Structure formats: structure tokens, C-alpha cells
Amino acid sequence: MRQDWARLPERGNRWALRLIRWIALHGGRATGRALLYPITLYFLLAATAARRGSRLYLRRSLGREPGWRDLFRHLHCFAATILDRIYFLIGQLGRFDVKIFDGQLILDQVASGQGCILLGSHLGSFEALRALGATVRHLPIKILMKIEHNQTVTELLDALNPALAQTIIPIGRPETLLQVQESLEQGFLVGALGDRVAQGDKIVHCQFLGQTVAFPVGPMLLAGLMGCPVILFFGLYRGGNRYDIHFERLAERIVLEPRRRQEQLAVWTQRYADRLEHYLRLAPYNWFNFYDYWDEESA
């Protein structure tokens, strides 16, 4: 079931998040990182659904049967980015060695005064970008986010940086995209994640890691309707305190003709899927969709 993500893994683990946050704020990053090992081990044993999702994904991306070490590494990578998310949110970027690739693209876009869609994914950490953009560089960024799904995370993390919380546009209300439209007109970079399908989303099918899978067309449709550029971003966690943030222009403008709309949306979404696959190959353990992404088990 592709909607399984709504339950995984953020939702069920309120106490773990609280614990990680407490450790991060009171114990320091070294303590936090040391404790990530037992926490990861616990999840490896207890979170069977997440483990199954991880196994299905790793089998596909590594091209072999993943062992316990691979599964551990995958969950540990996720836990590490959650811990770091806290430091990003409180603006402690100095702790990190962040390499930015093609950052000029973003600066040029901001200078142009025209808004754009910043399209990311659940590959790696989008918080790195959000913290860097909004807190350090004071770039005009807004993020589309499913508040209902992320309630726990949102509550816990927003308390750390209320100003950053203001930059969220909640998804799932009739006026959501009117708000996006206004933000784009005001020159905001509007961030969205394009790799998860929610109930009722319009979709297209793309080739992704060797199999057909549904992607939401929302972001491309939005860019098409608004006539704005689409810039991709990937915040890859490289171990230790290292993050690589990649920017890449996907489209200067997405032109949709009424009769060929579905076909054109499919072409652009496939390009996104191709780039996602490219970056996923660079950092395979950064894939944070811990569910049956390719719908293999219900087949």
C-alpha cells in the first residue's frame, strides 16, 4: 500500500522524537550521536513495517539481498538526520560542513524577483536547505507541508524556531494553492516534496529504479499553471557532520497544452524521477521512504 507512509515512521514515534530532541538540546551532538546507536537498534528490532520497507528498497537499490548491517545503516542515517534537524532548526549551522552545489542558481532566482518551485524529495534532509535558506541567508522561502501527517514532528520542532514555523503553507485545504500563487507572485521560493502520493492526488506513472511507480503531478501542474521555473534540490547526508546540498534547474517554464496536458506532465515528472534516481545512487542510504514504495507486496 503506497499510502502506508502516512503511518510511518514519523507518526508512531512521538516518544522517540522527544527523546532525541531532549538529548540534542541537553546532551550535545556527540552524546546524541552515541545514543543513536541503541535507538537505531531498537527501531531495527521493533519497527517491523519500516524494516520491511527498508529491505524492499535496499534490495532494489543495492541490487542484492540487504543484510542486517545495511538495514542498520539505513535506519541510522535517518535517525542522524532527525537529530541534526534539531540543530538546523535552532540555527546552529556552524557545527556542520555543508557543501552547496550550484547555489548561484538560487541567488539568481531570488535576485530576479520571480518566484519558483523548489522541488525536493524524501531523499536526505530538506531541513538543511530550510535552515540555511531561511535562517542564515534570509532567502524568501516557504514550504508546503502536510500538517496533519507531521503533527508530532511539527509541534515538537516548531517550538524550537517559531519564526521558521511561519514559513509553512499547510497542504490539504482548498485555499492552499491560492496561498502558493500569492507567495510565488511575491517572489517566494516555494518548497515542495514530489515523491509521495497522498490520497486523492493526481498522479502519473514513471519509471523509477527499474519499475513503474506513481508520482504526484501536483508540483509540475502548479508550475505549469503559474508559469514559473522549477528548481530541484537534494540535501544529502554524507556521514559525520557533512551535508551536500545540490540545486539543479529542471525547467525554466513548464508549458502545458490543454489537449496534451497529461502527456506533458508525465514527461516532466519522469525527468524529476530520473534526477531523483541519480542522486539516490550517490547516497543510497538517504532514502527516507520507509514503506513499500514500489507496491511490491500487494501485487
Q: List contacts with other proteins (CB under 8 A).
A: 171-182, 200-202, 218, 221-222, 225
- Least separation in angstroms between CB 156 and other proteins: 26
Nearest to other proteins of 171, 273 (CB atom): 171
Packing angle between helix 68-89 and helix 14-46, nearest 10 degrees?
170
For the CB of residue 295, give the shortest distance to other proteins in the complex, in Å: 22
Residue 234's H or E segment, with its range, is: strand 230-237
Q: How far is the CB of 255 from other proteins (least distance, A)?
A: 15
Residue 61, C-alpha cell as written in the block: 537499490
Q: What is the DSSP string of 107-155?
A: HHHHHHT--EEEEE-SBB-SHHHHIIIIIIS---EEEEE-TTTTHHHHH
- Give least dist CB 202 to other proteins, A: 7
Nearer to other proteins, 69 or 259 (CB): 259
- Give the nearer residue to other proteins in terms of CB position, either 25 or 178: 178
Taking Cα atoms as reference points, which of 169, 180, 99, 168 lies closest to residue 132? 99
Amino acid symbol at 29: R
Residue among 137 and 253 whose Cβ is closer to other proteins: 253
Burial class of residue 7 (count of CB atoms within 10 Å of its CB; 0-12, 13-18, 19+): middle
Minimum distance from CB of 189 to other proteins (Å)? 18
Closest to other proteins by CB, 123 or 143: 143
